[in-house]
Amino acid sequence: MDPFAELYETYQPDIYRFLLCLSGGDALAAEELTQECFYQAFLSFGRFRGECTVRTWLCQIAKNVYGKYIRRESRQRRIAEQQTMLPEKTASVTEEAEQREQFRAIRAALETLGEPMRTVAEYRLGCGLSYAEIAGLTGVRPETAAVMCSRARQKLRKILREEYGYEI
């Protein structure tokens, strides 16, 4: 198997899950962004210096791809979000809408966190990176990343409970 194909098979589920979280539960956007992430990784594979794990490198690419997507698609996204607010007719569609709403609530709660706490929380909760991997990406010590993540979880729980009625 081609090394890049092996890399894709190994890391695609993690990158997809991370982008699904960032995109507010939008599965189509997460799929598109995952493909773009791996395309960008393929283009820059020869420049990977090995200063971090491949997973960490891919998560950073994914975050950059998502940032570009938000800037480029913000208008279309607002229109799509308005359309998802229409009354749902089936249970499965209703469940999907509820899940999207939960993702939006989590995303909104994450946006209230300051930097670098928000970035640490996104990497840990959205991508499952270790504190050492987060430290490599953000420049904070692993112990600091752990403390930031713990505080972020506390703040997120409080916001989600008080503003949205979710218990996590």
pTM (two decimals): 0.59
Q: What class does CATH assign to 91-168?
A: mainly alpha
Long-range contacts of 55-60 (CB under 8 A, 24+ apart): 55/11, 55/14, 55/127, 55/129, 55/133, 56/129, 56/133, 56/136, 56/137, 58/11, 58/14, 58/15, 59/14, 59/15, 59/18, 59/123, 59/127, 59/129, 59/133, 59/137, 60/137
Contact in structure between 157 and 168 (CB atoms under 8 Å): yes
Residue spans of the domains in the chain: they are: 1-86, 91-168
73: how many CB neighbours lie within 10 A of its CB? 14
For residue 97, the number of C-alpha atoms closer than 13 Å in the C-beta half-sphere is 15
For the domain 1-86, what is the CATH code? 1.10.1740.10
Q: How far is CA 134 from CA 14, 63, 118, 150, in A?
A: 15, 13, 12, 14
**Angstrom distance (rounded) from CA 148 to CA 139:** 13
Q: Residue 135 carries which side chain, given as an amino acid letter?
A: A
pLDDT digit string (tens) for the chain, length 168 residues: 788 889 999 999 999 999 988 888 888 999 999 999 999 999 998 888 888 889 989 999 999 999 888 877 765 656 666 665 555 455 577 787 888 888 888 888 888 888 888 888 888 887 788 888 888 888 889 999 999 999 999 998 998 888 888 777
Q: How far, in whole angstroms, is CA 118 from its chain's centroid?
A: 11
**Angstrom distance (rounded) from CA 96 to CA 69:** 22
Residues 6+ apart with CB under 8 A from 163: 105, 109
